[in-house]
Each structure stands twice: as structure tokens, then as C-alpha cells.
């Protein structure tokens, strides 16, 4: 986990997460959980309920983020005119939240998916509002810094 404290600039927090992820990948820790799949796989379909109950009770809940650069996406396909391209993604069995960000030439689209019995709609709305507020603040900081130069 990266260190993130209230009021910390977004890019500084992101740098900590990025550094931790890169170190984990270099040490191949991102693959560490793969060996547990064999332990969790039920021996028969009749035993699948036990695995689901175990995951529901003990996690490991996680949040995933997918960033897609759609700036090269075509604006026409045959007779169809396309605009405001967005993507949604599904979660794995252990996911609680999935944020998909589509970055175009002059726009950003965010889609947040969540498990309703774990994350309330109100909490999901707060998460997306806080995310967009942090992004807007980061953009204004970058813009202000660029204008000072």
C-alpha cells in the first residue's frame, strides 16, 4: 500500500502507489495469489457453495481500475457516427469496486461499478464524487503550474 494522507497532492500520492506497484511487479509479488486458486477450486460442483461463502466472509475484496486511451478510437464505423466513447468492465469474484476511465483527446469518462450488497449506492456516489473532485483539483494544479512558467 502507498502512503496517502489528507491534503496530499494527488500526483504525490499516485507516485507512491506507482512505485509500490512497480517494485511488487519487479519482485513478481503481483502473481503471489495465483497459487491459492488451486486451494480454492472446489473438487466438485456440489462444493462450490462453500468457496463462495468463504469469499463472502473473508474477502479478499479489492478495487480494480482500468485506464483506456480512446483518443485513437474511430469517430465513424460505416454509417454510424460515434462520440463520447466509454467502456464498462466486470469484476472478478473478489472485486468490490471497478473504476473504468476512458481518456480521449479532450475528455475523460469515468464509470464505477460496485457490489451493491457490499458498497451502498450512497457510498459509491461519494467515491465517484471524491474521485472527480480530486481529478479536477489535480488538473487545475497542473494548469496553474504550466501558466506560471
Over the Cα atoms of the chain, what is R_g?
19
Q: Which three cell numbers stand for residue 67?
A: 485506464
H or E segment and range at residue 80: strand 80-81
Cβ neighbours around 102 below 10 Å, total: 21
Task: State the Cα–Cα distance between residues 53 and 68, nearest whole angstrom.
Answer: 34
Low-confidence ranges of the chain (pLDDT < 70): 1-6, 8, 10-11, 33-34, 58-61, 93
pLDDT recorded at residue 1:
46
Query: Is the omega angle on the peptide bond into residue 90 within 30 degrees of 0, that is, cis?
Result: no
pLDDT recorded at residue 64:
80
pLDDT recorded at residue 10:
64
pTM of the model as a whole: 0.57
Amino acid at each position: 500500500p502507498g502512503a496517502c494522507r489528507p491534503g496530499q497532492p494527488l500526483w504525490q500520492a499516485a507516485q507512491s502507489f506507482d512505485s509500490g506497484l512497480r517494485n511488487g511487479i519487479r519482485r513478481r509479488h503481483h502473481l503471489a495469489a495465483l497459487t491459492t486458486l488451486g486451494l480454492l477450486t472446489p473438487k466438485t460442483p456440489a462444493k462450490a457453495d462453500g468457496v463462495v461463502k468463504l469469499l463472502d466472509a473473508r474477502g479478499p475484496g479489492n478495487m480494480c481500475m482500468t485506464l483506456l486511451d480512446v483518443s485513437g478510437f474511430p469517430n465513424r464505423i460505416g454509417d454510424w457516427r460515434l462520440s463520447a466513447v466509454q467502456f464498462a468492465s466486470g469484476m472478478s469474484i473478489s472485486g468490490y469496486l471497478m473504476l473504468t476511465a476512458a481518456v480521449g483527446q479532450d475528455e475523460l469518462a469515468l464509470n464505477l461499478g460496485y457490489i451493491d450488497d457490499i458498497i451502498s449506492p450512497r457510498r459509491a456516489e461519494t467515491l465517484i464524487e471524491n474521485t472527480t473532485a480530486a481529478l479536477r483539483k489535480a488538473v487545475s494544479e497542473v494548469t496553474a503550474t504550466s501558466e506560471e512558467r
